[in-house]
Structure 1
Amino acid sequence: MDKRIKELIDLTKVKFGLEQYHLQSYSFSRYVNIFNETVYSFGMEWFPNLVTEEEDDGSNPEGTAVIEVNLNTGKFESVIFVMGKTYAKGGVTFANHNKKDIIKWLEHETGLTYGKQFQLHQEEEGEMLFKECFEGIAVSPSGFIEVKVNPEGKLTSFSVSGQFPSKEKVKEETYTLSFNKIDHLAKEQLKLVEFPLYEKNKLFPVYAVEEIYVKNDQTSTIPFEFIVDANSYLKIDKTIHWDKPINKPFERKEISWIEDVSAEQAFSCEPSPVSFPITKVEQEKCDLAVKDFLRQEYPKDSGNWILKTLHRDKGYIHAILRANKQDNRVFKRKLVIMIEAKSLRVVNYMDNKPMLEVFDQFQAPDNATITKEEAYEKLKELFELKPYYVYDFKQKQYVLCGKLDSSYGVIASNGEVIALDDL
């Protein structure tokens, strides 16, 4: 066994009190973060000594310790005892569930400072959820830290996800935004959308706010969707047209979602292929592959699809397409086409049409009788504008913004103000 692997295993066994456990398996994995850095993890599955094999359905037995170490930082990122059952002796324990002790342990484990880089978000009996922040201001995309302990105070779950930026990655400013300065944007973000109400099997026309980040200098905005999807996505925005279909059925190939990662790749922090930009040649071949696929599987849809983006994902290039004509429903038609990175041929795809067809059985929405201006007047006191440090992929740093949003909407057929969570 590689000496570096043995050191990690021995450290884990002592740290989490796994004397009554045996190491069942281990593996390496990697992902690319929003900074386009390749992050490697070493994962272990520890079975209680009384157990020697998986459950019949392939799942881990109760009490299994599933643990991950970030090899870039050397810090533990995830510790989960299956079904909340632990046989650990000693290990990590918090007497009387003391909150201060838990926060102190988290600071030591993560290297982060409470109140400056993470803060308490939710708390229940035996559970604490923390959200990422910078100097107490929320961050987007957000990270989380979760801790669970059993009635005896023993750790049963710990996980950390997110970037938790250092000062070097943040453009610090004094927050100056107010709603009065951006009310014109607020009205623009009010959209008429059809929300499904499952209990009544009916669609409701609702004026709701499409959330957006407004930069502190008021010069520009960052769409919420861009924050979610921007990492390594190559923007295309091209409508696909063709003259002739291809009269040959498309054959799906099985997709491998698991990537084989070696110890040498992990310990040398070899850059993942996902971090490499899509070249011009690859883009052109992907465009052609997408068109040929549509000519086969959607032969009558010329001009109906827009190729929005391309991005890499574990041996594949994913093409994301949106329907050219969308209705006002809250869920939009979307197509994801998987292209093998080596051959640049389409091997599989996902279409959300079956999910959307559920709403075809719903009662049609009533006609809107309320105008956008009237809805805005009802909602403007219910808008929220909260400071956020948002990662700007162009500037490659976090910039101060205001998140414009509202938890309420106006039913367009009768003018009733309603909490969106009730829909």
Structure 2
Amino acid sequence: MKSLNANIQQLIDQAKAKFGLEFYYLKRHSFHRYVNMFNETIYTLNMEWFPSHEAESEDDDLNPDGTAVIEVNLNTGQIESVIFVMDKTYAQHGVTFKRPYPAHIIQWIEQETGLIYGEHFHMHQEEKGELSFEEAIEGVQVTPSGSIEVKWNEHGQLMYFTQHGQFLAKTLLKAEEYTLSLDKLENLAKQQVQLFQWPSFEHNRIRSIYALEEIYVKNDGTGTLPFEIGREETHCIHMNEVMEWNESINNAFEKKEMDIQENISAEQAFSLEPSPDSFPISKKEQAECIKAVRTFLAQQYPKDTGKWVLKTLYREHGYIDAILKTNGQEGSGFMDKIKVFIDASSFEAVNYIDKKEMFQVCGILSPSQATSKISVSQTEAFEKLRERLELTPIYVYDEVQKQYVLCGKLDCHDGVDAESGEVVPLQDI
């Protein structure tokens, strides 16, 4: 078996040869890890190659123009990303594309990734010196989707390459015929039209808007999946625990500094040791988290007993994150959300983010802003939006079935002002 040092050296030598880095030196390298949505721990080797003619910078964090930042996925051995800083390169005999560009670039991507164009990835956008690709199955979108982006300079030299996601939809697909239609989903669509409170910066008030909360509807009629699909959604534990207490706690809550940087050793990286973020949260740990959240609320929001609901718990960066929303989600809608960071060993709340507080601190929202009057009913709003609803086929990863299932994405790009009844594009709010 090769020594760890030999393994690292081999990857360094391969990167140097592949990307033509004869006039570069390896300034530093480090290991990183993350947990993907399939709960697999992915390790990467990150390398920063400095141009040889560059003098040592006084600012150690600053990468000079032309620096090559390369990341290798240790699970697959593939290049995950290459970035030449400020689109400048001193590479000799590196990756250079010949015309016609799309054809040769696609060929290089297939060679690098083992993926097949038209089968695993499809053209998403084409601009001068830039191509982006997304995962799709026979023209139908996929979520979460793998994506690839490539940029090159006027000489055809590679400036940027990144590959995100696993491109596993084709192998984890539950094939079926699409049968959904909007008329079948009218009741669900009506339920999804909800009242949201949006800060209006121009008029210094909170604007009440009816909008459709996007949702994925399963084609087989077995239910729905949440619009946001990622690790937070697929690996969270749904708690739905109303937070109540009888008396406030005298000592105020103090935010502590959080350390999310991990020092990953070569041994951990090459053995693909599972990250603590991939471990389940036990019943005992859940109970400790409930206590921690209750204590935090009693300290920070002593008068709010019964107002907040602990919705979900999930692991991230070595902490357990707790998501809180208001009971019944009254008030300011999407702004009423608190994220509490809990130390995974001591089970103490160490920090938090209050979305509404964040708006206020940034000067975007003042506590005294008046909420607009509501003159339009939810039923009236739905009638105004009915003809603007959209239903698009999409393959969505279902954590329960462990495969991608055919769904319809129920969406609407417009909303209704609850005071005036005017239909407004949501992007303009």
Identify the TM-score tier after normalising by the shorter chain: over 0.9
Match status 1:20 vs 2:23: yes
Match status 1:104 vs 2:110: no
- Contact 2:120–2:170 (Cα < 8 Å) also in 1: no
292-301 or 352-361, larger mean C-alpha shift? 352-361
- Contact 2:124–2:134 (Cα < 8 Å) also in 1: yes
- Structure 1's unaligned 5+ residue stretches are none
Q: Provide the rounded CA distance (Å) in 2 between the counterparts of 1:368 and 1:341.
A: 44
Q: Provide the rounded CA distance (Å) in 2 between the counterparts of 1:253 and 1:361.
A: 25
Pick from 38, 43, 54: which aligns with 2:41?
A: 38
Residues 274, 361 of structure 1: alpha-carbon distance in 2 compared, 3 angstrom cutoff: closer
Q: Provide the rounded CA distance (Å) in 1 between the counterparts of 2:424 and 2:41.
A: 44
Equivalent residue, structure 1, for 2:411: 405
Residues 339, 127 of structure 1: alpha-carbon distance in 2 compared, 3 angstrom cutoff: same
- Give runs of aligned pairs for residues 17-416 of structure 1, distance below 5 A: 17-54=20-57, 56=59, 58-96=61-99, 98-225=101-228, 229-324=232-327, 326-327=329-330, 329=332, 331-357=334-360, 358-360=364-366, 364=370, 366-416=372-422
| Cα offsets for 1:104-127 (capped at 9, x unmatched) | 211222222222222222222212
* Matching residue's letter, 1:247: N
Q: CA deviation at 1:353?
A: 3.0
Q: CA deviation at 1:362?
A: 8.6
Q: Provide the rounded CA distance (Å) in 1 between the counterparts of 2:37 and 2:57.
A: 35
- Contact 2:242–2:310 (Cα < 8 Å) also in 1: yes
Q: CA deviation at 1:224?
A: 1.1
Q: Provide the rounded CA distance (Å) in 2 between the counterparts of 1:345 and 1:2.
A: 39
Q: Provide the rounded CA distance (Å) in 2 between the counterparts of 1:167 and 1:5.
A: 33
The 3-state SS of whatever aligns with 1:373 is helix
| Cα offsets for 1:127-170 (capped at 9, x unmatched) | 22222223332111233211111122211111111221154422
The 3-state SS of whatever aligns with 2:174 is coil
Percent identity over the alignment is 53
What TM-score do the two structures reach when normalised by structure 2?
A: 0.92
* Matching residue's letter, 1:116: E
Q: Provide the rounded CA distance (Å) in 2 between the counterparts of 1:92 and 1:240.
A: 57
RMSD: 2.2
Q: Provide the rounded CA distance (Å) in 2 between the counterparts of 1:78 and 1:234.
A: 32
* Matching residue's letter, 2:249: I
Q: Provide the rounded CA distance (Å) in 2 between the counterparts of 1:416 and 1:97.
A: 50
* Matching residue's letter, 1:301: D
| Cα offsets for 1:19-57 (capped at 9, x unmatched) | 111101111111111111111111101111122434638
The 3-state SS of whatever aligns with 1:230 is helix
Equivalent residue, structure 1, for 2:425: 419
Q: Provide the rounded CA distance (Å) in 2 between the counterparts of 1:362 and 1:228.
A: 37
- Structure 2's unaligned 5+ residue stretches are none
Q: CA deviation at 1:182?
A: 1.5
The 3-state SS of whatever aligns with 1:277 is coil
Q: CA deviation at 1:228?
A: 6.6
- Contact 2:169–2:404 (Cα < 8 Å) also in 1: no
Q: Provide the rounded CA distance (Å) in 2 between the counterparts of 1:382 and 1:25.
A: 53
Residues 281, 368 of structure 1: alpha-carbon distance in 2 compared, 3 angstrom cutoff: closer
307-316 or 364-373, larger mean C-alpha shift? 364-373
Count of residues in correspondence between the two structures: 423
Q: Provide the rounded CA distance (Å) in 2 between the counterparts of 1:194 and 1:248.
A: 33
The 3-state SS of whatever aligns with 2:12 is helix
Residues 402, 325 of structure 1: alpha-carbon distance in 2 compared, 3 angstrom cutoff: closer
Q: Provide the rounded CA distance (Å) in 1 between the counterparts of 2:24 and 2:60.
A: 21
Residues 383, 228 of structure 1: alpha-carbon distance in 2 compared, 3 angstrom cutoff: farther
Q: CA deviation at 1:225?
A: 3.8
Q: CA deviation at 1:370?
A: 3.7
Q: Provide the rounded CA distance (Å) in 2 between the counterparts of 1:119 and 1:269.
A: 31
Residues 135, 262 of structure 1: alpha-carbon distance in 2 compared, 3 angstrom cutoff: farther
- Contact 1:141–1:228 (Cα < 8 Å) also in 2: no
The 3-state SS of whatever aligns with 1:191 is strand
| Cα offsets for 1:332-367 (capped at 9, x unmatched) | 222222222222222222222323333337964543
125-134 or 36-45, larger mean C-alpha shift? 125-134
- Contact 1:147–1:158 (Cα < 8 Å) also in 2: yes
Residues 202, 344 of structure 1: alpha-carbon distance in 2 compared, 3 angstrom cutoff: closer
Q: Provide the rounded CA distance (Å) in 1 between the counterparts of 2:419 and 2:173.
A: 45
Q: Provide the rounded CA distance (Å) in 2 between the counterparts of 1:100 and 1:226.
A: 32
Q: Provide the rounded CA distance (Å) in 2 between the counterparts of 1:375 and 1:392.
A: 31
